[in-house]
């Protein structure tokens, strides 16, 4: 049994990349493990967001995750801001992290560029993410390919903290799926499918109707030449479709390639497979949306369970860092040798 933690921002509608890159792994990981999953609303504050919509989006993201197959009897699902230790541990870790390593984060560079008005919260975003993970002593973190660098930073911070203050944190590892760890935009297959890109035809929503899925797959940009071959560099569009079909069917993208003689055939089968893959998610969403009180109850219970684990870890970390425990006298000062 392993301890798992992962998080997702409530920053827009969930898409097929989120589902295949991360959420499906969360669902698989909840069986037989001790899994914690959170909607990271504090992270969403680091970008442009509408305060009138954030609470609704946070709730709806949780609903989406339940629809995708998270089972509150098998895992702990909660909202990050409901567990105060996330922000508190982030500060301890900020005092261990250094400027240079945060400046190297590609996600920050992509979003902030050279802008002096970039938010500090965007800069320290990966430290808050490290706090999310380390609070739960997570051994495995199921995420898509784009999170590898943040996981490396988390490992560095855990090791540095342990080295400086004594063994405190478990050093986690990323768990990235073999296929579809980086789903590309159907209209621009050299760009990652994302919530923020205004490419409605390029992004398949996790709750898209069968007709919408079919239309988007059929309109997907393919490559010159008519040969169906798995070659992400030379044939990014076709390779992306092969990855999607592979992820939906369990076969490998390269082995699937040989069974098609035209792009049309590949698109037809991919569309059909994706429709079937997402059908149960859509159906459960409709059921759950009719009973929002159930979602609220899940989040209340989740925050309670998460707080217990997070509280204990935070206490351990703050004692290690030398903070005075509330309601107690300081330990005897240790003489420094020499």
- Asked if 317 and 169 touch (Cβ cutoff 8 Å), the reply is yes
Closest residue to ligand AMP, judged by C-beta, is: 21
SS3 for 149? Answer: helix
8 binds ligand AMP (CB under 6 A): yes
Tell me the window of 53-61, 118-126, 178-186, 280-288 that interacts with ligand AMP (CB under 6 A): 178-186
| 186 Cβ neighbours under 8 A, 6+ residues apart | 193, 201, 202, 203, 204, 216, 217, 219, 220, 221, 237, 240
Pick from 4, 16, 122, 133 the residue near ligand TRP by CB under 6 A.
Answer: 133
Q: Which two tokens stand for residue 247?
A: 């992820």
Residue 17 binding result from ligand AMP, ligand TRP, none, given CB thresholds of 5 to 8 Å by partner type: ligand AMP
Pick 142 or 189: Cβ nearer ligand TRP: 142
Closest residue to ligand TRP, judged by C-beta, is: 7
Instruction: Name the phi and psi angles at 119, rounded to 5.
Output: -75, 145
Residue 207 binding result from ligand AMP, ligand TRP, none, given CB thresholds of 5 to 8 Å by partner type: none
- C-alpha–C-alpha distance, residues 167 and 320, integer Å: 9
Residue in 121, 91, 284, 102 with CA at minimum distance from that of residue 206: 284
In the sheet where 75-79 sits, what is the strand order? 75-79, 34-39, 3-8, 140-142, 173-175
- C-alpha–C-alpha distance, residues 199 and 51, integer Å: 24
**Residue numbers 255-284 binding ligand AMP by CB under 6 A:** none
Pick from 88, 111, 119, 192 the residue near ligand AMP by CB under 6 A.
Answer: 192
Q: Is 216 an active-site residue? A: no
| 34 Cβ neighbours under 8 A, 6+ residues apart | 1, 2, 3, 4
Pick 41 or 243: Cβ nearer ligand TRP: 41
Pick from 30, 58, 124, 147 the residue near ligand TRP by CB under 6 A.
Answer: 147
Pick 43 or 57: Cβ nearer ligand TRP: 43
Residue 18 binding result from ligand TRP, ligand AMP, none, given CB thresholds of 5 to 8 Å by partner type: ligand AMP
**Residue numbers 97-156 binding ligand AMP by CB under 6 A:** 143-144, 146-147
143 binds ligand TRP (CB under 6 A): yes
Which residue has 């827009």 as its token pair?
12
- Asked if 223 and 234 touch (Cβ cutoff 8 Å), the reply is yes
Residue 119 binding result from ligand TRP, ligand AMP, none, given CB thresholds of 5 to 8 Å by partner type: none
Q: Is 195 an active-site residue? A: yes
132 binds ligand TRP (CB under 6 A): yes
Pick from 27, 193, 245, 309 the residue near ligand AMP by CB under 6 A.
Answer: 193
- C-alpha–C-alpha distance, residues 224 and 199, integer Å: 22
**Residue numbers 71-110 binding ligand TRP by CB under 6 A:** none
- Residues in the chain, how many? 338
Residue 193 binding result from ligand TRP, ligand AMP, none, given CB thresholds of 5 to 8 Å by partner type: ligand AMP
What string of H, E and C letters represents the secondary structure of 100-132?
Answer: HHHHCCHHHHHHHCCCCCCCHHHHHHHHHHHHH
Which residue has 């998460």 as its token pair?
306
Which residue has 């935070």 as its token pair?
314
43 binds ligand TRP (CB under 6 A): yes
How does DSSP classify residue 68? Answer: T
21 binds ligand AMP (CB under 6 A): yes
Residue in 312, 291, 315, 310 with CA at minimum distance from that of residue 72: 291
- 146: how many CB neighbours lie within 10 A of its CB? 17
Tell me the window of 114-122, 181-189, 267-275, 294-302 that interacts with ligand AMP (CB under 6 A): 181-189
Chain residues that interact with ligand TRP, rule: CB under 6 A: 5-9, 40, 43, 129, 132-133, 141, 143, 147, 150
Chain residues that interact with ligand AMP, rule: CB under 6 A: 8-9, 17-18, 21-22, 143-144, 146-147, 181-183, 192-195
User: Catalytic positions, please?
Assistant: 111, 192, 195
């Amino acid at each position: 049994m392993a301890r798992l933690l992962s998080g997702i921002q409530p920053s827009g509608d969930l898409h097929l990349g989120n589902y295949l890159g991360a959420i499906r792994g969360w669902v698989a990981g909840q069986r037989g493990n001790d899994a914690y999953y959170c909607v990271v609303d504090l992270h969403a504050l680091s970008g442009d967001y509408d305060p009138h919509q954030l609470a609704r989006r946070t709730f709806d993201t949780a609903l989406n995750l339940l629809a995708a197959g998270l089972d509150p009897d098998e895992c702990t699902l909660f909202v990050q801001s409901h567990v105060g230790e996330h922000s508190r541990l982030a500060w301890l870790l900020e005092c261990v992290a250094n400027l240079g390593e945060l400046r190297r984060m590609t996600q920050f560079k992509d979003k902030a560029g050279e802008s002096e008005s970039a938010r500090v919260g965007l800069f320290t975003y990966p430290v808050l993410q490290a706090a999310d993970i380390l609070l739960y002593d997570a051994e495995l973190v199921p995420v898509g390919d784009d999170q590898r660098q943040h996981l490396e930073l988390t490992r560095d911070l855990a090791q540095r903290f342990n080295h400086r203050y004594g063994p405190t944190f478990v050093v986690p590892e990323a768990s990235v799926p073999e296929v579809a760890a980086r789903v590309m935009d159907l209209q621009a297959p050299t760009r990652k499918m994302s919530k923020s890109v205004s490419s409605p035809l390029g992004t398949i929503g996790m709750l898209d109707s069968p007709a919408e899925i079919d239309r988007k797959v059929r309109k997907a940009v393919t490559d010159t030449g008519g040969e169906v071959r798995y070659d992400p560099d030379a044939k990014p569009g076709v390779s992306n479709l092969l990855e999607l079909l592979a992820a939906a069917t369990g076969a490998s993208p390269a082995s699937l390639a040989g069974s098609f003689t035209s792009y049309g055939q590949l698109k037809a089968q991919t569309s059909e497979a994706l429709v079937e893959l997402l059908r149960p998610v859509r159906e459960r969403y409709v059921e759950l949306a009719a009973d929002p009180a159930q979602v609220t109850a899940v989040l209340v219970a989740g925050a309670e369970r998460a707080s217990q684990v997070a509280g204990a870890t935070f206490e351990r970390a703050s004692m290690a860092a030398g903070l005075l425990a509330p309601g107690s006298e300081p330990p005897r000062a240790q003489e420094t040798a020499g």
